[in-house]
A = this chain, B = another copy of it.
Amino acid sequence: MKKAYQEMSKDELLALKNRLEKDFEDAKGMGLKLDMSRGKPCPSQLVMGMDILDTLTSESDMKALDGVDTRNYGVMDGLPEAKELLAGMMGVKPENVIVFGNASLPIMYDTISRSMTHGVMGSTPWCKLDQVKFLCPVPGYDRHFAITQHFGIEMIAVPTTDEGPDMDMIEKLVAEDESIKGIWCVPKYSNPLGISYSDETVRRFANLKPAAKDFRIFWDNAYAVHHLYDDRQDEILEILSECEKAGNPDMVYEFCSTSKISFAGAGVAAMAASVANLDFVRKSMTIQTIGYDKINQLRHVRYFKNMDGVKAHMRKHADLLRPKFEAVQEVLERELAGLGIGSWTKPNGGYFISFDAMEGCAKNIVAKCKEAGVVLTNAGATYPYGIDPKDTNIRIAPSFPTPDEMAKATDLFVLCVKLVSVEKLLAQD
């Protein structure tokens, strides 16, 4: 039975510190150079997907199902078959989908940007308002927060549990404050927690009564089909139909992409929303673009064919990713369980494991890891403005290194967690 650090005497802690410092010096000597900072697919995943490039050749019929020539101008909002494929990923109807370019981040950015300059379905442009606020469930995705910060939108952090964000707090805030115009959500295998919203959470989202008519839920369903296991898969309620049932059909924008299905940065991305929302989006779109890359849309549709094709492909990704997640979990469990110096999530999908250190330790742990050659996401990145008030959260991204490298990197990580925790406890005396 392990002893929790908090129960150790000062002498025990000092002895432990000496040993850990020696281990850390040894670790530094190993010359590690590993990156667990971003949710990047690994080379094997990229090699696995290469045959998508053979889908379209100079011999291919380049016409879409409706006869449109994908090599020419036209079709602003996506090929019908591309809408259908991406609708399938989100569990919505094709008429609720617009297919855009190579990634979903620019769609989200454009959605905020358009709201700033043109409002939302007839509302006052946000740039004309004195104050615009967004709710940000934490820990969350740094790039979401970066967008709202870039546009001068005030961010309010909302804590998250296993079930999703704190709905009591959200319900209260949106009902009271008309300047709250949106909330960032990653509802499935969330970044970085890896949790999925419970049915009750989704229903409470759909039933929100925001003071602002132009309040929108930004539902970034980035990991909709990104399961790690065959037998343990999270599923969430489909938000568009829940919003419709609740009499709030226009309250949500959903986003998804194939960035972590086909190729990162060379996929296709989509937005799902009510037809009224999409019609408003199309008004700006028709000025902004003649159309996105339909050849790449056709390539994806011909390659994946349908949702069965997507699911079969995702199983291959899972086979490559699972050992890495398991390597991390194994080391964390073996080295940290029972020590009282950290807790972590055990997601069934997605790209991240979220680690919570003792208060005030996250930054130092990340710095120590870096000193020994392991790069983690900056501590604080998972919070608005990059500030984690308790300095506890660290996002672990196991996808890029090999399972063996991941085990080594986690060995170093737990060593740093122990060392920083001991130092913290000694400093508290």
Contact = CB atoms under 8 A, between A and B. Distances in A.
A38 B74 CA distance: 11
Interface string A256-297: 000100011110000000000000000010011111111110
Interface stretch (A146-154, A167-175, A237-245): A146-154
A138 to B, nearest CB: 19
A376 interface: no
A72 B292 contact: no
Given A41-B72, A265-B292, A294-B265, A56 B53 contact: yes
A147 B54 contact: no
A311 interface: no
Given A43-B69, A73-B264, A289 B106 contact: yes
A51 B62 CA distance: 13
Interface stretch (A109-117, A191-199, A210-218, A381-389): A109-117
B46 A292 contact: no
A57 interface: yes
A74 B40 CA distance: 9
A232 interface: no
A393 interface: no
A3 interface: no
A126 to B, nearest CB: 10
Interface residues of A, number: 56
A381 to B, nearest CB: 14
A127 interface: yes
Interface stretch (A8-16, A97-105, A312-320, A414-422): A97-105
B40 A103 contact: no
A60 interface: yes
Contacts of A425: none
A351 to B, nearest CB: 12
Interface in A119-175: 125, 127-128, 143, 146-147, 150-151
Contacts of A50: 58, 62
Nearest to A128: B127
Most buried by B among A46, A290, A292: A290
Given A71-B263, A116-B117, 17 more contacts: A40-B72, A50-B62, A53-B57, A72-B263, A73-B259, A73-B264, A103-B290, A103-B291, A105-B290, A109-B287, A113-B113, A150-B287, A264-B290, A265-B291, A266-B295, A266-B296, A293-B296
29 contacts: A40-B73, A51-B58, A54-B57, A70-B266, A71-B263, A71-B265, A71-B266, A101-B101, A101-B293, A103-B291, A105-B288, A105-B289, A106-B288, A113-B113, A116-B117, A117-B117, A118-B150, A127-B127, A127-B128, A143-B287, A143-B290, A146-B287, A147-B287, A147-B288, A263-B295, A265-B292, A265-B295, A266-B293, A266-B295
